[in-house]
């Protein structure tokens, strides 16, 4: 059985849903949802939740962290920089150190 938009139960595919019914039966390529989607905010059977997940402070922390807020961690990282291709066959880079802030969802 499949749940319709208004929560009504549709008959199994292949059976008429009543004379003059305006609710079409689902077609083969259509996805029919039997259960509500789980909450991805908290850890559960289908999701590890969002606690500890990295986010972008200005872009998506509020929505990704489900309104719980986020932690800010400042760290120093070393990355390749000022890379140049050397004749013929390799790339040469300097190592640059910079401070960055990492944002993660609170638990």
Provide the residue range defining the domain that includes 90: 39-107
Mean pLDDT confidence for 1-18 = 47
- The answer on 64 and 28 residing in a single domain is no
Whether residue 6 is found in the same domain as residue 55:
no
pTM: 0.56
Question: What are 46's two structure tokens?
Answer: 């289908």
The answer on 91 and 48 residing in a single domain is: yes
- pLDDT band for 62, please (50, 70, 90 cuts): very high
Average pLDDT of the chain to the nearest whole number: 82
Q: Terminal CA-to-CA distance of the chain, rounded, Å?
A: 38
Q: How far apart are CA 22 and CA 19, in angstroms?
A: 9
Q: Is the pLDDT of residue 7 over 70?
A: no
Note whether 8 and 59 are same-domain residues: no
Cβ contacts of 73 within 8 Å, gap of 6 or more: 101, 102, 103, 104
Distance CA 98, CA 80 (A): 11
82: left (phi over 0), alpha (psi -120 to 50) or beta: left
Question: Structurally, how many domains does the chain consist of?
Answer: 2
Check whether residue 54 and residue 98 sit in a common domain: yes
| pLDDT confidence tier of residue 27, bands split at 50, 70 and 90 | confident
Q: Taking residues 21-31, report their average pLDDT.
A: 77
């Amino acid at each position: 059985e499949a749940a319709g938009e208004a929560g009504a139960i549709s008959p199994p595919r292949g059976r008429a849903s009543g004379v003059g019914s305006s609710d079409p039966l689902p077609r083969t390529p259509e996805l029919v949802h039997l259960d509500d989607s789980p909450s991805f905010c908290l850890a559960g059977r289908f999701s590890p939740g969002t606690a500890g997940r990295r986010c972008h402070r200005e872009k998506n922390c509020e929505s990704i962290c489900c309104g719980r807020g986020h932690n800010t961690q400042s760290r120093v990282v070393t990355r390749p920089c000022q890379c140049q291709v050397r004749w013929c066959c390799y790339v040469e880079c300097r190592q640059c150190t910079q401070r960055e802030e990492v944002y993660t969802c609170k638990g």
